[in-house]
Structure 1
Amino acid sequence: MARIAVNPPAVGWSLTIPPGLWSTLASHLFRDGEEHGAVILAGYADGPRGPRLLARDVILAEDGVGYVEGTTGYRALDATFVRDQALRARDENLAYLAVHNHDDMLYPGSVGFSPTDLASHERGYPALRQITGQLVGGLVVTPRAAAGDLWLPDGTRVALAETVVLGNNIIRLRPRPAETADADQHWHRQSLLFGSAGQLTFTRLRVAVVGLGGAGSIITELLTRLGVGELILIDDDRVDKTNLPRLVAAEPDDVGKRKIDLAARNARRANPAMRLTLIDKRVEHPDSRAALTTCDWIFLAADSHSARHWVNQVVHQYHIPATQLGVKIPVGVDGRIGDIHTATRILLPGAGCLWCDELINPTQLAIDMHPQGEREAAQYVPEVPAASVITLNTLAAGEAANHFMFAAVRLHHHNAEAASVLHQPQSRDRLLQTGRQSASCRFCTTTGDLGKGDDTLDGLVQREQKELTPNRLPI
């Protein structure tokens, strides 16, 4: 298989589109080689490299009705269609992006607005911006490239740095392919697989690990040695003696230390250049939640229902992919061992919702949200420590890291939505499992929190102008 050209993450404004919405848009635009149109309505959020637009809905313009013969150009969105979507953008505080496609046969991998396109922007966008009170702009795409012209309410006009399409592979569409230098020799053996651009991709990513126990300590080690540029480590727990066999490079005198400190020590040993943020708090704490919303990827290695809920919320509300990994070792009171399995669940916006898959228990979530003493008092049956073995944690962590690795550099064979993987090591079976989605889910649908973000446009622009960093705790 030939290596696919990879665009490393860019600095500046970006648009992120979840897999379901991209499939709808691409099927409409690229179906016959002709030009077609649509509108994307998007929420706002801060990001690891600049402000982000989060595609919340795609409204297709029907040929001859919503997308018609233009008076000054080839084709254009109908005035009534534009008005209806602009009013919705105003009412729901969403960005408005007019979308059309170009043919990429002449300049493969590149795209730009025509002079006619730009002239139409200058005629129409000032008034449209005034009507909506929101960011308005245009997006032109091909299957391999995208360019955007963004008009902010304060009169600022900026280019879109990249359009990120989420799926089994993370596709970064730019106006033209990125120019990258050769990778550092430290990463030479990996670059033979990823290419220099692929290795640079890892260096520019910000990844969070929630839970630094057995699986979390292993995934941290793997991410560090892949060359991920920044890690956010979230865990409020401390090491006890029973943890030592499962924590990477743990030593007897580590008992009583914070688990995040052990993980950070290992990360610095493997890659001294790595940027680290340690958050010694539970995932529902505001510091933890704020940090999660500005990541490129999240690994959920904590098994509490509150951790599942909040990571699931971030995935869908902020368009940040995540991987849940865990191990189930059922041991009965009589010592009988049940069917052992490891789970690696891929969570993508608009798909793979933990609520839809009934993996979050509302009662247990309510208990988890209370202080520790109240949580313990609410348990009718005292908690019994679960069986745990480092080799099984390694199986789950390796599967999770490999999926992330291939997604980041576009090495998966298929771009379709990712299935979760269940390993049954006793029988050596490997099963694929597709997540469920309820049409009425308030987390993972366009009628719920999908792509809402939580930033107003004004707040986002003010932070960008002041060059403020997210509310994190660097060390």
Structure 2
Amino acid sequence: MLAMDITVLEQHFALLKPLLPDTASNEAAAYMLFGASDITFDPWSGIPRLRLVSHKVIEIPATDQISASPVHVKWSTRSFMRLLGDAAIAGKIPAIVHTHPSDHAFFSEQDDANERELARTVHQKGLRGLVSIVLGGDGSICGRIWTEPNKFILADTMQIVGGRYMRHGRAPTVGSNRHYLDRQGRLFGLNFNDEMASLRVCIVGCGGTGSPVAMLLARLGVGHIFLVDNDVIDETNLNRVHGSRRQDIGRPKVEIIKREIDAMGLGCHVEVAQKWINAAAVRDALKSSDFIFGCTDDNSGRILINRLAFFYGIPVIDVGLRMIAVSERQGHDLNGRVTTLTPGRPCLVCSGVINPARAHEEELERNQPDEFQRRKAEAYVVGAEDPAPAVVTFTTEMAAVAVDEMIAAVTGFHGSEGMIPSRVRRWHARDDRFLSVKSREHCPVCQSDEAGGAGDVEPFLDIVG
């Protein structure tokens, strides 16, 4: 059994919407290219999954359009053959999109017959498959992939991903005892509780911000959580890691957080990996997620989740704090930050959050500790700094701000643009700043036509070394 879902990036969906000007319009069509994300083992279901992510929208030339009416659209296959050539060169999966202006999204018998012949051509060209998407005039959307001329897989879900997260299709995994969510359902509606129950969320880092994020998500009714952290609890963690106890010193952080969520008895399925985020064994969990929370304090981990947001179209909500103790006369410098990453927005490198040189040093320290110490002695690397100050009230507050951004993506309570791109809370100044950051020209991540919706590439995320 192979599960399959389809992600359409918000900027690509915006290019498709003009195909449906109103419910009285003629049917219309377009082409797309999709990247593939092959998941060997979904950590929650244990079954393989294929996730497709939109890479490009291609207009069908007007000269190829033969006829159209409210119930049909017909075009020449000349441009379709060019599409297959483009797909082969780019290593992507070709797709056709068409509309049902006066109806809901579904695949008709005529669609089956037409696409079967196109899928045969795709198969003869040696391509992996043909994706087909239907947009309904009522706002519905459905999709499938033809893996063989006579075989297709329907998408479990179709999600539109950007500042908003809008999903169609997945039957929520809702337990029988959900009365504890009654109060939040009164605010956002019962569908919100269903949406939370079916979400798959990965938390990278289970310290001062990651542990409260996990606790909050579980109490929101999120159905599936994956925890990633290689560290164990030490005495200095007890002031801010939620759920930790003195007798937990020396135990993995991920086990502590899982224990506490399991003890809630709220039906949240928690899986863990006591590993660094860069470990190959964590990739399936990352790629299976609907949201990723970056709660790590290292540059190396942030480089990976930064690229992941763009290559796989998975929203990343990154949390950071910078607290500097100065003299009583001068006051304090206390800052918390939440940055949201989706294709179409600046990445963490362009935002100045990641220090690439320090990221390289962190990787060297983990993977080649002897070489790191040699370079440190010769002053080629900076080396570890003193531990940063941390206070549980501040770390927990920013965790709540981060979770609020996920809620905003799902519900739109911030408005139509969804998640706020970057918020800095300055406790000492008693204000929030909403930063406007521009991407650097030619950035290989957020300004690259190749990175957005690329899916699986070799090496992973195009990270060399």
Which of the five TM-score ranges fits, normalised by the shorter chain?
0.7 to 0.9
- The question of whether the paired residues in 1 share the 8 Å contact of 2:408 and 2:418 is answered with no
Question: CA separation in 1, counterparts of 2:287 and 2:206?
Answer: 19
Aligned partner letter, 2:55:
R
Indicate which of 9, 28, 35 corresponds to 1:18: 9
- Are residue 173 (structure 1) and residue 187 (structure 2) matched? no
Deviation at 1:172, TM superposition (A): 1.5
- The question of whether the paired residues in 1 share the 8 Å contact of 2:409 and 2:419 is answered with no
- Are residue 129 (structure 1) and residue 123 (structure 2) matched? yes
Per the alignment, residue 28 of structure 2 pairs with 36
Partner SS, residue 197 of structure 1: helix
Question: CA separation in 2, counterparts of 1:133 and 1:380?
Answer: 48
Deviation at 1:219, TM superposition (A): 0.6
Aligned partner letter, 2:118:
G
Deviation at 1:354, TM superposition (A): 1.4
Question: Where in structure 2 are there 5+ consecutive unaligned residues?
Answer: 459-465
Question: CA separation in 1, counterparts of 2:171 and 2:220?
Answer: 23
- The question of whether the paired residues in 2 share the 8 Å contact of 1:329 and 1:387 is answered with yes
- Are residue 268 (structure 1) and residue 268 (structure 2) matched? no
Question: CA separation in 2, counterparts of 1:249 and 1:335?
Answer: 36
Partner SS, residue 239 of structure 2: helix
Comparing 33-42 and 82-91, the one that deviates more: 33-42
Deviations 1:120-145 (A, max 9, x none): 22343322332252211321113621
Equivalences for residues 400-419 of structure 1 within 5 A: 400-415=402-417, 418-419=420-421
Question: CA separation in 2, counterparts of 1:121 and 1:139?
Answer: 11
Deviation at 1:334, TM superposition (A): 9.5
Question: Where in structure 1 are there 5+ consecutive unaligned residues?
Answer: 1-10, 457-475
- The question of whether the paired residues in 1 share the 8 Å contact of 2:173 and 2:198 is answered with no
Deviation at 1:180, TM superposition (A): 8.4
Change (3 A) 1:264 1:426: same
- The question of whether the paired residues in 1 share the 8 Å contact of 2:350 and 2:440 is answered with yes
- The question of whether the paired residues in 1 share the 8 Å contact of 2:341 and 2:421 is answered with no
- The question of whether the paired residues in 1 share the 8 Å contact of 2:243 and 2:257 is answered with no
Indicate which of 154, 159, 164 corresponds to 1:159: 154
Partner SS, residue 195 of structure 2: helix
Partner SS, residue 329 of structure 1: strand
- The question of whether the paired residues in 2 share the 8 Å contact of 1:37 and 1:67 is answered with no
Question: CA separation in 1, counterparts of 2:350 and 2:76?
Answer: 38
Alignment length (residue pairs): 438
Per the alignment, residue 53 of structure 1 pairs with 52
Change (3 A) 1:281 1:422: same
Partner SS, residue 238 of structure 2: helix
Per the alignment, residue 456 of structure 2 pairs with 454
Per the alignment, residue 308 of structure 1 pairs with 302
- The question of whether the paired residues in 1 share the 8 Å contact of 2:119 and 2:149 is answered with no
Partner SS, residue 225 of structure 2: strand
Per the alignment, residue 86 of structure 2 pairs with 88
Per the alignment, residue 187 of structure 1 pairs with 181
- Are residue 396 (structure 1) and residue 394 (structure 2) matched? no
Deviation at 1:313, TM superposition (A): 1.9
- The question of whether the paired residues in 2 share the 8 Å contact of 1:210 and 1:216 is answered with yes
Change (3 A) 1:116 1:449: same
- The question of whether the paired residues in 2 share the 8 Å contact of 1:207 and 1:232 is answered with yes
Question: CA separation in 1, counterparts of 2:256 and 2:98?
Answer: 50
Aligned partner letter, 1:297:
F
Equivalences for residues 107-256 of structure 1 within 5 A: 107=103, 110-142=104-136, 144-153=139-148, 155-174=150-169, 184-256=178-250
Instruction: Give RMSD over aligned pairs.
Output: 3.0
Equivalences for residues 338-417 of structure 1 within 5 A: 338-372=332-366, 373-374=369-370, 375=372, 378=376, 379-380=381-382, 383-415=385-417
Per the alignment, residue 469 of structure 1 pairs with none
Equivalences for residues 427-446 of structure 1 within 5 A: 427-438=429-440, 440-445=442-447
Question: CA separation in 2, counterparts of 1:411 and 1:334?
Answer: 40
Comparing 435-444 and 300-309, the one that deviates more: 435-444
Question: CA separation in 2, counterparts of 1:178 and 1:34?
Answer: 34
- The question of whether the paired residues in 2 share the 8 Å contact of 1:353 and 1:435 is answered with no
Q: Percent identity?
A: 24
Question: CA separation in 1, counterparts of 2:64 and 2:428?
Answer: 57
Deviations 1:76-109 (A, max 9, x none): 34322211111111232321111122224xx5xx
Aligned partner letter, 2:105:
V
Aligned partner letter, 1:268:
D
Deviation at 1:410, TM superposition (A): 4.8
- Are residue 318 (structure 1) and residue 312 (structure 2) matched? yes
Deviations 1:151-200 (A, max 9, x none): 113742232333210123211234x9999898722322232234333212
Aligned partner letter, 2:92:
L
- The question of whether the paired residues in 2 share the 8 Å contact of 1:225 and 1:271 is answered with no
Change (3 A) 1:113 1:178: farther
Change (3 A) 1:66 1:351: farther
Comparing 303-312 and 87-96, the one that deviates more: 87-96
Change (3 A) 1:403 1:115: same
Aligned partner letter, 1:209:
I
Question: CA separation in 2, counterparts of 1:413 and 1:161?
Answer: 27
Deviation at 1:257, TM superposition (A): 2.2
Change (3 A) 1:287 1:381: closer
TM-score normalised over the length of structure 1: 0.83
Question: CA separation in 2, counterparts of 1:204 and 1:179?
Answer: 5
Comparing 227-236 and 247-256, the one that deviates more: 247-256
Per the alignment, residue 299 of structure 1 pairs with 293
Higher relative contact order, chain-length normalized (CA < 8 Å, sep 6+): 1
- The question of whether the paired residues in 1 share the 8 Å contact of 2:336 and 2:398 is answered with yes
